[in-house]
Amino acid sequence: MSKPEKIRLLHFADLHIGMENYGRLDPATGVNRRVLDFVQRLDEVIDYGLEHDVDLVIFAGDAYKTRSPNPTHQRAFARRIKRLTDAGVEVVLLVGNHDLPTMTQKASSIDIFRTLDVPNVVVGRAEDVHIIQTRRGPVQVATVPYPVRQRLLAHDDYRSLSIAELDSRLEEIITGNIHGLAAQIDPDLPAVLTAHLSVSGATYGSERSVMIGRDAVVLRSVLTDPAWDYVALGHIHRHQSLNPDGSPPVVYSGSLERIDFGEEGQPKGFCWVELARGETSWKFVEVAARPFVTVRADLRGTDDPLASLRRAVGGHDLKDAVVRVILHLRSDQEKLIRDHDVRALLAEAAFVGSINREVERESRVRLGGLSPEEMTSSQLLERYLDARGTQEERKKELLARAAEIFTE
C-alpha cells in the first residue's frame, strides 16, 4: 500500500493592509501606494499557492493595520481569500492582536467570514482543534488566537493583580491551553498548531512600533510537543525558525512587506510546507517586497561634498526603493548641500523618507589644553563666558556671584 500524498500547506502572517507610511496616493486607484504594496504581496502568495496546487492556507493573524479597517481594505482582503476558496482551497484565518476589537464583546475584523459562513474558511477566534478535510486528506489544525489580558479582568479574582502578575497568569493559562490542545490530537493524522503570540528566544523587529499593547511570552518548549507536525506562528515580523535542528518545525513566517527601516535588508515572504505525520518538510519563499535603502555619506573630508554624495548614491540600487539619506558634514558644508540637490540624485527612488544631516561643529569653548576634569567650576564658567563674548565688567560680576555659590 502506497503512502498518502503529502498535504500542501501555505503559511503566511502579518499582512497589515492599511500601512501608509512612506507612501503617497496612487492616482490610478485612489489608494495609497504603500497599501497597494501590501495587497500585491498577498497576490504573490496566492498566485504561488494556486500554481503549486495548495491544499490548505493558514494565515496566522493580523490582516489589517487597525482594528477597524475601512471598507476598501476589507474588500481587498476578501477578494483574495475568495480566489482561494473558489479554487477549493481550505483557509484558516487566525485572529491576531490587530484584528481584535477594543471591547471583547465586539466582533473581530475577520469575523465576517464566520458570520457569513463562507465555504472552506475557518476563523480561529478561540483555542480549538479543527478537523479540516483537504483534497489530499484530513488535517488537524489547532488555533491559538492572540491572548487578551482583558479576558482576565472580567473575573473578580484577577482585578486586584498588577500588570506583571496578570501577564504571568496569562502565560500560565496559554501554556495550559496549548497542552490541552495537544492532548486532543489524533496521533494518526497530521497536526498543525497555529498561534499569534510571542515566543521566548524569538528575535523582534519593527513590529514593536505597531504592536497594540504588551505581550505575554510563551516558552519555546511549550510548542515543541511531538503532537505537532508543524507550528505556524504569526505576530513577529522577522522570519525565523525557532526549532531548526528538531521536530516539529516552529516557524514565524514573518510579514510580507517591510514596515520601516528597522526591517531594511530582512527577507520577506511565506512558508511552503509539505505536511505528513512525522515527515514534514518546509521552505521559506521570498516575495518581491519593496526595498528600503539607507545611503550613508561621510563628506567631511572633501571639498566637493555634492560630487562625493553623487558617488555614494551611485553605489546603491535605488530603483523603486524607499530611501533615507544620512549625511555627515562639517559646519561650513551645510549650505553646499541643499535638499533639492539631494532629491535630484534620488530620482529613481519611489519615496524619499528623510534627509538627515549630522553636522560636526568646532567647539567654541577653548580649554587651554586642559580637560574639563582638570578644571575647577570657576575656570569652566570663565571659559564659557569668554566663548559667549561676555563683556569684562559683566564677566567679573558673574564670576564673583558664582564664587559665592560654589563656596556655599
The pTM for the full model equals: 0.82
Domain count, the chain: 3
pLDDT tens per residue across all 408 residues of the chain = 567 789 999 999 999 998 888 988 888 888 889 999 999 999 999 999 999 999 999 999 999 988 888 888 999 999 999 999 999 999 999 998 776 665 555 667 777 777 777 889 999 988 999 999 999 999 999 999 988 765 655 555 666 666 677 778 888 889 999 999 999 999 999 999 999 999 988 887 665 554 544 677 899 999 999 999 999 999 999 999 999 988 999 999 999 999 999 899 899 999 999 999 989 999 999 999 999 999 999 999 998 999 999 999 999 999 999 999 999 999 888 888 899 999 999 999 999 999 999 988 655 445 555 556 566 788 888 888 877 778 888 888 888 888 878 776
Please identify, among 267, 286, 305, the residue that sits at the C-terminal boundary of a domain: 286
Same domain, 227 and 330: no
Residue 46 CB neighbour total at 10 angstroms? 19
Structural domain including 339 reads 292-360
Same domain, 179 and 282: yes
CATH number at residue 115: 3.60.21.10
Q: Does residue 366 lie in a domain region?
A: no
Chain centroid offset of residue 294 CA: 18
Same domain, 84 and 168: yes
Same domain, 130 and 228: yes
How would DSSP label each residue in 205-225?
Answer: -GGGGT--S---EE-HHHH--
8 Å CB contact between 95 and 110: yes
Place of cell 554624495: 309
DSSP lists the bridge partners of residue 230 as: 192
Same domain, 333 and 387: no
Same domain, 230 and 320: no
One-letter amino acid at 171 equals E
